[in-house]
Structure 1
Amino acid sequence: MDYNKFILFGDSITQYSTQQAGYTPFLTDKYVRKLDVLNRGYAGYTTEHGRLILPKILEIESNKEKDNIKLITIFLGTNDCYENNNWIQPTKIERTKENIEYLIDLALSYNIKPIVIGPGLHDYNLVIEKSQAVKATNNRRNLEYSEVIKSVAKAKNVPFIDTWNLMLQDSKFTKEEIFEDPPLEEYLIDGIHYTTKSYVLLTKEIYKTIEYNYPELLPENLPFKLSYWRDIDPKNLDTIFTNTYKQD
């Protein structure tokens, strides 16, 4: 009854992906009776916070053999991009790079297959409208951080999801227009956090990334836990544990 695990690690975008349209319920459904999908998203956190807490998470969730956590998404950097809104979140790009390197290396040391996700688009006018915050970042700066995180993933030979360009390609804007910070309420509910549309885009990309890079970990290639109910011998209920549940 000990399930292997799929950890979703990140900031508020991961935390709030528990919504109906987010990737947490989608992946939980896909991996039901196969992997336990654990949401470990922490609103407001940066890579600096992430490098402190991921070791604790893996220490608790991993077995002694370090072979029970199969997948992890590492989705941090959105809050790192901030530059003048507070003293807690802004993180220099060089430090973000170091932190992402550390997080990837840590996951690999636990024999976990990582998927790194970069920060997406930003609408600072919508942020100001919804929260009366100062202009903390922009799409050019988000792209710079995304590209640095991408370079780390490439150097480590692990898959990277380019959320910034994923959103751009789906939008009606050119790259030059995005740099002018146009309204993006179709993708961002408050300038930062994702609408249903953005979550659907990202969810599909996560699944495609598993399919392309880690096909052995697709749901259809993993065994079910416990027997199919029709295969259980009513005279010997221990066959719950011995029969194989074959997916159609």
Structure 2
Amino acid sequence: MSKYKTVIWPKVILFGDSITQFSFQANGWGSEIANRLARKCDVVNRGLSGYNSRWAKIVLPRLINSQSSADNNIAAVTVFFGANDCALEDKNPQQHISLQEYSENLKEISKLLASAGVSADKVIFITPPPIHEPAWEKECILKGGTLNRLNSVAGQYAQACVQAAGQCGTDVLDLWTLMQRDGQDYTLYLSDGLHLSEKGNQFVTEHLWALLERRVVDLPLILPYWGDVDRKSPESSLLCDQ
């Protein structure tokens, strides 16, 4: 066994549905955040495509728990659910979660994170983005269905997310409101009416970074800058505890 202490990177965990899972694709918001935090923090993608807040609440203790030593160094967690919860019950009962339960699930997720040592000040809730119904209806028809989400309903879930964040003491990124502010063309932010386009990923990156930066700004560069390594005795630089 090595006599030297293992270097442990702090972690930012991205917990959400497909919009999170896909965030590590080229130019995705998750990969951009990871790039900004290279050598300072590991960005861990825990996006679960198709999941709603009920299923998220059930699996969360399997993903983050106080028993794991690796989970004791978490700088931030994003919680990004709602795009599936807001599916219309009569069109998509498999994913639909009532507005009241969605709110309660978010609060329970916050409690579960707290019990795992992740305090509310490290948590950022993210609301579902707006839905462009004509584009999403085409996707639904291609899959043999009918339009199963409405932008107005997504807005109700976004509002519930904002309210839950206030009650839990977490930050919140209200994408539904921000993307439609001042009557801007929010459809540019969506690739298929529901998921993010390249512009949408850029939008999330910039707004999320504004909330995330203060949580990670003081994290040091892990392991010495190459120019600071002692050329004659690199061990003295590279094997010392930071």
Match of residue 73 from structure 1: 78
Question: Given that residues 51 and 99 in structure 1 are in contact (C-alpha distance below 8 angstroms), is that contact kept between their aligned partners in structure 2?
Answer: yes
* 1:8 shift after superposition: 0.4
Question: Given that residues 81 and 141 in structure 1 are in contact (C-alpha distance below 8 angstroms), is that contact kept between their aligned partners in structure 2?
Answer: yes
Residue of structure 1 aligned with 2:177, choices 165, 168, 171? 165
Paired positions, count: 228
Q: Distance in 2 between matches of 1:62 and 1:31?
A: 23
* 1:35 shift after superposition: 1.0
Question: Given that residues 48 and 91 in structure 1 are in contact (C-alpha distance below 8 angstroms), is that contact kept between their aligned partners in structure 2?
Answer: yes
Residue of structure 1 aligned with 2:166, choices 128, 139, 154? 154
For the structure 1 residues 154 and 50, does the alpha-carbon distance in structure 2 shift closer, same or farther, using more than 3 Å as the test?
same
* 1:196 shift after superposition: 1.1
Q: Deviations over 1:136-165 (max 9, x none)?
A: 121111111111111110011110111001
Q: Distance in 1 between matches of 2:174 and 2:226?
A: 42
What amino acid maps onto 2:85 in structure 1?
A: D
Superposition TM-score, scaled by structure 1 size? 0.85
Q: Deviations over 1:1-25 (max 9, x none)?
A: 2212110010000011112322111
Match of residue 103 from structure 2: 97
Question: Given that residues 165 and 171 in structure 2 are in contact (C-alpha distance below 8 angstroms), is that contact kept between their aligned partners in structure 1?
Answer: yes
* 1:185 shift after superposition: 4.0
Match of residue 51 from structure 2: 45
Identity %: 29
Match of residue 114 from structure 1: 123
Q: Distance in 1 between matches of 2:49 and 2:111?
A: 23
Give unpaired runs (5+ residues) of structure 2. Answer: 1-6
Query: What is the CA RMSD across the aligned residues, in angstroms?
Result: 2.0
Question: Given that residues 66 and 115 in structure 2 are in contact (C-alpha distance below 8 angstroms), is that contact kept between their aligned partners in structure 1?
Answer: no
Structural mapping, 1:1-248, within 5 Å: 1-59=7-65, 62-63=68-69, 67-83=72-88, 84-112=90-118, 113-132=122-141, 133-169=145-181, 171-172=183-184, 185-211=187-213, 215=214, 217-219=215-217, 221-238=218-235, 239-242=237-240
Q: Distance in 2 between matches of 1:60 and 1:41?
A: 20
Q: Distance in 1 between matches of 2:16 and 2:232?
A: 48
Give unpaired runs (5+ residues) of structure 1. Answer: 174-183
Q: Distance in 2 between matches of 1:151 and 1:103?
A: 14
Q: Distance in 2 between matches of 1:170 and 1:68?
A: 40
* 1:60 shift after superposition: 8.4
Q: Distance in 2 between matches of 1:151 and 1:14?
A: 22
